Structure 1
């Protein structure tokens, strides 16, 4: 398959499972060289082995992307091993406890915002000099249905994903003249390993629970990954600043 991606240097975060894993495998299948970044060392290594068995080229970087040292390692690995950074997929994320504002602890708020919003900012900032030097680059962020509405998650997760949407749009405007595109997908319900540690009787989960009746069908990670790969490809060369629901029309209800 030829789609303008082949041989490029790609970073995918949260690539040890779910949407990130599916995206990493899809990029590799097109001939791209992939940095598989994930908190789970064993999961990341397993994905790299899977890619290598299929003839792909990949390397893993394990660690917490909320830490600047890990972010620097991810960026430098792509540059040193693959010659630069052509595509960045900020996919890593965690759920909150569906907590309403009055029930959100400082720890829950700070951790969710750190992983879901600050980490994508840090990694984008780290790779931008390399993209600017090359005069091109594609950034694809994984936002969420919770980035489009207030009834899909708790306060912390909702705020973090609205932040991802804003970050994406700002990047698109700021760097479009430098050949860099930034877009985001907003997954609806997707069959991944992410779990929600929530007390269903608490105010937050009890309040937003009824809104999930319009969720639509559960998607496969590969369906989300297909849109990520498209947005990173030359086929989407004039798509910039787009926030695309991949949710079986949940956002349209």
Structure 2
């Protein structure tokens, strides 16, 4: 299926990471010109180089999305080079903090709010008005099952991922009459090649992953590709009537089952 992205520019924040790089690669395969934005120059360049080697078009851009002035300058440079951003994937985020509330450090909370939530605001603020002016755009916020259901020991992560749902729905309302859609993806855990392992083998690698797989009706974990394929679809012409939706990539773990 042709998703109609051959004349579109996609900006993916955290584009050098596991999920972000897969998003970039799939969008490029669908014909989009991809801006791989990351604070890590090496990861951004590696992702962009891989896309170029496969025949796609990509640009590695280094930016700290918590720096509002830097974001404004960076987006202006992207606009001058590409003509403007048509697709924004707010993917950058931190997920390394784990502590119960009484031990949760304030500086970690502040860091995660700054990156996961305010960083997404900073980038969106610079590209969303131009999308509305042009009459076409796609914004995709990367939330999480933790944003839906909470996450034990993950106060900052769960809170910011929940906030991205409200943020995305607000963008959907504001862009609805201007040809701009906004949707939210909420994955469960994705683990790359480990998803192919039977549960008994997965237990030998990571007991935590195995417990999640056992609780998933499909009895397996997801991959970065499962997320990226949905990103590509929600970016497409075919998804033009889908907006303000939270779409789980979960294998059914959010369902009541017994």
2:233 corresponds to 1:223: no
Give the SS at the match of 1:20.
Answer: helix
Distance 1:39 1:164 in 2: 20
2:248 corresponds to 1:242: no
Distance 1:14 1:181 in 2: 21
| 1:8-46 Cα shifts (integer Å, max 9, x gaps) | 011011111211101101111122111100111001101
Distance 1:22 1:185 in 2: 15
Q: 1:52 to 1:19 in 2, by over 3 A?
A: same
Structure 1 length as normaliser, TM-score?
0.88
Structure 2 length as normaliser, TM-score?
0.86
Q: 1:79 to 1:153 in 2, by over 3 A?
A: farther
| CA positional deviation for 1:101 | 2.4
Distance 1:85 1:152 in 2: 36
Give the SS at the match of 1:181.
Answer: strand
Give the SS at the match of 1:217.
Answer: coil
Q: Which consecutive unaligned segments of at least 5 residues does structure 2 have?
A: 193-207
Aligned to 1:78: 78
Aligned to 1:214: 215
| CA positional deviation for 1:103 | 1.9
Q: 1:73 to 1:58 in 2, by over 3 A?
A: farther
| 1:117-172 Cα shifts (integer Å, max 9, x gaps) | 11111111110121122011100110000110023651111110010011011111
Aligned to 1:161: 161
| CA positional deviation for 1:70 | 3.2
Contact 1:96 1:112 in 2 (8 A): no
Structure with higher RCO (Cα < 8 A, 6+ apart): 1
Distance 2:152 2:139 in 1: 25
Contact 1:7 1:32 in 2 (8 A): yes
| CA positional deviation for 1:58 | 1.1
Aligned to 2:57: 57
Distance 1:182 1:71 in 2: 20
1:92-131 → structure 2 map (5 Å cutoff)? 92-131=92-131
Query: How many residue pairs get matched?
Result: 238
Aligned to 1:29: 29
Q: 1:227 to 1:239 in 2, by over 3 A?
A: same
Aligned residues: CA RMSD: 2.0
| CA positional deviation for 1:96 | 4.2
Contact 2:100 2:153 in 1 (8 A): no
Q: 1:152 to 1:217 in 2, by over 3 A?
A: farther
